[in-house]
Amino acid sequence: MADAPSDPPVFLAQDVGSTIGEDGRHHPTVVIDVSNNPEVADLPRVHAIDGIGDVSTAAIRTGDAVVLGVQLTRPVTAAFAVVFDFTMHEQFLNEVADAHSLTFATTSPADASLDQPLWLSVDIDGECLREALANPIKPGEL
């Protein structure tokens, strides 16, 4: 009997900012703690080797919580979600929508200059995110 699929892990946006890419552009970046989830922690390495593959995103807002879901189907299958505080992160989330991308910092940014870790950057459906930010779901509508 096959195991039922488990719910994807949900992470809290610990910090937000931007990373300066090799192209000199600023890339919206969110820090998440994946230390208890080795499958998500390994995604940057897998995608550095095999390419980003197929990614889809979705977002909903309910009250002050914005949940951004990420689903990867190739080269590996994985899914996770990140919860943002709308009152604290509204401007940042609009920057993500404008950029149509988000980098997930899966290690401490303080150690990044020494460790030069791999982080996961994915394309974001900016229109879907804007729609979610502008139209929160009311309790009972889920």
Most confident of 2-16, 35-49, 70-84, 91-105: 91-105
Residue 2 scores a pLDDT above 70: no
Q: Who contacts 29 (Cβ-Cβ below 8 Å, separation ≥6)?
A: 16, 17, 18, 19, 102, 103, 104, 105, 109, 119
pLDDT number for residue 76: 83
pLDDT number for residue 113: 63
Q: What does pTM read for this prediction?
A: 0.88
pLDDT number for residue 130: 97
